[in-house]
Amino acid sequence: MPKDNGIGAAPKRREDLRFLTGKGRYTDDINIAGQAHAYFLRSDVAHGTINSIDTAAAAGMDGVVSILTAADFEAAGGIPCGWCVTDRHGQPMKEPKHPILAEGKVRHVGDPIAMIIADTLEQARDAAEAINVDITELPAVVDMSTALDAGATKVHDEFDDNLCYDWTFGSDDAAVEEAFSKAAHITTLELVNNRLVANPMEPRVAVGDYTSHNDESTLYTTSQNPHVIRLLMGAFVLGIPEHKLRVVAPDVGGGFGAKIYHYAEEAACTLAAKLCGRPVKWTSSRSEAFMSDAHGRDHITKMELALDADNNFIGIRTDTLANMGAYLSTFAPSIPTYLHGTLMAGNYKTPVVQVNVKSIFTTTVPVDAYRGAGRPEATFQLERIVDMAARELGVSPIDLRNQNFISKDMFPYATPVAVEYDTGDYHATLAKGADLADVAGFDARAAASAANGKLRGLGVAHFIEACGIAPSALVGQLGARAGLYESATVRVNATGGLVVMTGSHSHGQGHETTFPQVVAEMIGIDESMVEIVHGDTANTPMGMGTYGSRSLAVGGSAIVRATEKIINKAKKIAAHLMEAAEGDIELKDGTFSVAGTDKSIAWGDVALTAYVPHNYPLEDLEPGLEETAFYDPANFTYPAGAYICEVEVDPDTGKVDVLNFTAADDFGNVVNPMIVAGQVHGGIVQGIGQALLENCSYDENGQLLSASFMDYTMPRADDIPFMTVDHSCVTPCTHNPLGVKGCGEAGAIGSPPAVVNAVLDALHRGGHNVPHIDMPLTPSRVWSAMNG
């Protein structure tokens, strides 16, 4: 019988009750008495010199409280970047100033120029129209392939060119040349990893508040990591000490990476509240989100795979151009480097792997992490080129993968690109996926499709990713400017209930359900006795938030450590109450007993004693029962899985229908299988979106052409098949106390190559020799590829 409590049970998400009944409390639901509304006047050209900003007429309009421009932020710092990448010559990356409001130049459509604060949003918008900004337009820098040409227009005049850094990683040139010189076969693939917009359901919102009686600023914001925002904004931008700055990220309606970063609007609303003496609220419109939320992906890559005469992979070399956009967003430089290059070995024992990345400034919205962040780009290249090699060599893509997989007896396995995989069994996950997807029965289904005039294809991909971000010492060496531990405070109340204050943040992941399962399991009590508090710097310990599939692996581990401290202290109290030796106390099902006796005492009695210490060992123990732990992981976690996709292509129109999708993942131990399945479902939907539908498009003048859901195609229910999601293959993580691996990004990492491989398989079966099509595989692209 399945468990109904604790680790491994699948209780329904307790937070959904409020979300589904309209009782969530999101940032836009927060309205403070006296609040004014902000509107940002944004550049409608991609690149230009600001000659003047005339706000005189606007300032006198009805309801206008204040109009701020760059001059008002002179005392403030620029928006900091959280990661410094060192280039191949040992030099730090170029790091341009990222002003809160445009200083002297605008560098992308959507770059904020002025902040208009008025009694109502309508008044602020009207006033924005009356501001006269005189801009001399400069040529846009949109195409990465020409952005480094001599004489190319520079996005940042203070630098020699548009190169942020030129980075190399992994095997050295001599090793690569030797491997490729020995190759019996070399497969070459050139591709574009399409630019995406995260589009969480809730757009970004910021409410700044300032109370003069205690000189304290509060920012309510749609963030995945309120402590990180407090640190970056307080210490680097506005110069507010942390004890005078509170950041609250209440219910947040999805993030997918785009809500990690510190954004200009947050600092602007916080400062404006103090300057105006009124709370200031800004709510992004959807159009505004398209041109101000950090975008994702946007790589141009050439990859080569060398194989020996027996089809063993002997070398991998990649060259990538990665778009940074106009400014460096918080984690942008790390995405195409340490979150991308480190995964280029994939699941394979390729001895030589070299990754080269040039990151480039362009006059587009900054690009940063989006669900998967670097690992989807690595996985897509690798799993496409393995498929391509199999096709060129006339071997089964499944066999070629199995032949080259790192086998389970090789762990821990150090790759040529710096990381050490602790556990895995890739043969097992691929076999499981193939079984669940009924690969054996595919030919019959393909024949049935052919009889209906459709081309059916089967696509396989096998991913690995590094998540549970991150060991602080390692990432510090690699340029991270922050520690990436996580924190937890566990407070036992006098009557036995527990409150867990976590530094990680839930914006859809279900922490309020999963974390109590962990604590309940450890103590042996019901989950309903545990409440999770997150999202407010005033009542949670300093933590790093949620991204990189880290909440359970790192934040959950901190909760385990804090709960262990609680249990240790509670045992001491129980030992005192039962007049026994501490070492003889056992905790089971919420009851403390003395080993070998029938003496026992309930959890609640111990808790009460801690707070009503009438009979208490005060000489040995402090009263109270509250503990904090900080957990810094020893390594990343390395989930892996087989993703198998079956599609039908309509040869007359090029339309792709995804018929079946199977994911067989190894996430180590699973706390709540329902939530894990949901995470994988969501990731696959976003992966199918990238593969078939989504594309952020700029014209040659740097105008953003896809800035609404009319032009940027989000996946809809009828684009998505029923999915078979399995996580029964388990190799527990060796270095965290729960044995868990991250699951939040897997679906978005593993699915795009599976979809594209399936479409190309379908075309191949239909007699069309199409080696590659760039995502998204729209009907027009597929039809054009089929018809030369």
Partner 1 sequence: MQMSGTRTIAADQATVWAAILDPEVLKACIPGCQEISGSADEGFEATVVQKVGPVKATFKGAVEVSDRVEPESLTISGEGKGGAAGFAKGGANVTMTAVEGGTELSYEVEAKVGGKLAQLGSRIIDGFAKKMADQFFEKFQITVEGPEEAEQTGEDSTDGGEEKKGWFGRLRG
Interface positions with partner 1 (CB under 8 A): 44-45, 109, 125, 128-129, 287, 290-291, 699, 701, 703-708, 710-711
Q: Nearer to partner 1 by C-beta: 38 or 647?
A: 38
Strand, coil or helix: what is 113?
A: strand
Contacts 24+ apart (CB under 8 A), 412-416: 412/734, 413/349, 415/342, 415/345, 415/353, 416/170, 416/171, 416/345, 416/350, 416/351, 416/352, 416/353, 416/354
Q: Nearer to partner 1 by C-beta: 133 or 606?
A: 133
Q: How far is the CB of 109 from partner 1 (least distance, A)?
A: 7
Q: How far is the CB of 138 from partner 1 (least distance, A)?
A: 13
Q: Which residues of 339-373 are buried (b: 16+ CB within 10 A; e: fewer)?
A: bbbbbbbbbbbbbbbbbbbbbbbbbbbbbbbbbbb
Q: Nearer to partner 1 by C-beta: 58 or 79?
A: 58
Q: How far is the CB of 137 from partner 1 (least distance, A)?
A: 9
Q: What's the DSSP call for residue 70?
A: G
Is 296 exposed, middle or buried (CB count within 10 Å of its CB: 0-12, 13-18, 19+)? buried
Q: Nearer to partner 1 by C-beta: 109 or 520?
A: 109
Distance of CA 563 to the CA centre of its chain: 27
Q: How far is the CB of 38 from partner 1 (least distance, A)?
A: 15
Phi, then psi, of 332 in degrees rounded to 5: -50, -45
Q: How far is the CB of 41 from partner 1 (least distance, A)?
A: 9
Residues 6+ apart with CB under 8 A from 112: 40, 41, 42, 43, 100, 101, 102, 264, 265, 268, 292
Residues in the chain: 788
Paired with 112 in beta bridges are 42
Q: How far is the CB of 58 from partner 1 (least distance, A)?
A: 12
Q: How far is the CB of 35 from partner 1 (least distance, A)?
A: 23
3-state secondary structure labels for all residues of 699-735: CCCCCECCCCCCCCCCCCHHHCCCEEEECCCCCCCCC
Q: How far is the CB of 254 from partner 1 (least distance, A)?
A: 22
Q: Nearer to partner 1 by C-beta: 289 or 684?
A: 289
Q: Nearer to partner 1 by C-beta: 110 or 556?
A: 110
State the Cα angle at 206 between 201 and 207, rounded to 5°: 135
Phi, then psi, of 532 in degrees rounded to 5: -105, 130
Q: Nearer to partner 1 by C-beta: 618 or 710?
A: 710
Question: Residue 401 in contact with residue 459, Cβ under 8 Å?
Answer: no
Q: Nearer to partner 1 by C-beta: 515 or 712?
A: 712
Q: How far is the CB of 129 from partner 1 (least distance, A)?
A: 4
Q: How far is the CB of 120 from partner 1 (least distance, A)?
A: 16
Taking the CA of residue 479 as centre, how many other CA atoms within 13 Å lie in the half-sphere pointing to its CB? 21
- Kindly give the pairing relationship between strand 498-502 and strand 530-533: parallel
Q: Nearer to partner 1 by C-beta: 520 or 704?
A: 704
Q: Measured between alpha carbons, how far is 370 from 349 in angstroms, rounded to an integer?
A: 28
Q: Nearer to partner 1 by C-beta: 39 or 405?
A: 39
Q: Measured between alpha carbons, how far is 35 from 117 in angstroms, rounded to an integer?
A: 10
Taking the CA of residue 575 as centre, how many other CA atoms within 13 Å lie in the half-sphere pointing to its CB? 17
Q: Nearer to partner 1 by C-beta: 40 or 636?
A: 40
Q: Measured between alpha carbons, how far is 712 from 710 in angstroms, rounded to an integer?
A: 6
Q: Nearer to partner 1 by C-beta: 140 or 434?
A: 140
Is 441 exposed, middle or buried (CB count within 10 Å of its CB: 0-12, 13-18, 19+)? exposed
Could you tell me where the beta strands, DSSP code E, fall in 5-111? 36-42, 48-54, 64-68, 105-106
Q: Nearer to partner 1 by C-beta: 236 or 290?
A: 290
Residues 6+ apart with CB under 8 A from 506: 15, 252, 512, 532, 534, 535, 546, 551
3-state secondary structure labels for all residues of 319-379: EEEEEEECCCCCCHHHCCCCCCHHHCCCCECCCCEEEEEEEEECCCCCECCCCCCCHHHHH
Please name the residue that has the structure tokens 């821990």.
412
Q: Nearer to partner 1 by C-beta: 291 or 428?
A: 291
Strand, coil or helix: what is 614?
A: coil
Other Cβ atoms closer than 10 A to 749: 33
Q: How far is the CB of 721 from partner 1 (least distance, A)?
A: 28
* Cis check: omega of the bond before 470, within 30 degrees of 0: yes
Q: Which residues of 684-715 are buried (b: 16+ CB within 10 A; e: fewer)?
A: bbbbbbbbbbbbbebeeebebebbeeeebbeb
Q: Nearer to partner 1 by C-beta: 128 or 644?
A: 128
Q: How far is the CB of 44 from partner 1 (least distance, A)?
A: 3
Q: How far is the CB of 693 from partner 1 (least distance, A)?
A: 16
Q: How far is the CB of 40 from partner 1 (least distance, A)?
A: 11
Q: Nearer to partner 1 by C-beta: 125 or 445?
A: 125
Q: Measured between alpha carbons, how far is 584 from 596 in angstroms, rounded to an integer?
A: 8
Q: Nearer to partner 1 by C-beta: 135 or 437?
A: 135
* Cis check: omega of the bond before 633, within 30 degrees of 0: no
Q: How far is the CB of 126 from partner 1 (least distance, A)?
A: 9
Paired with 647 in beta bridges are 457, 658
Q: Which of 145, 141, 143 has its CA nearest to residue 159?
A: 141
Q: How far is the CB of 72 from partner 1 (least distance, A)?
A: 22
Q: How far is the CB of 67 from partner 1 (least distance, A)?
A: 16
Q: How far is the CB of 340 from partner 1 (least distance, A)?
A: 29
Q: Nearer to partner 1 by C-beta: 187 or 292?
A: 292
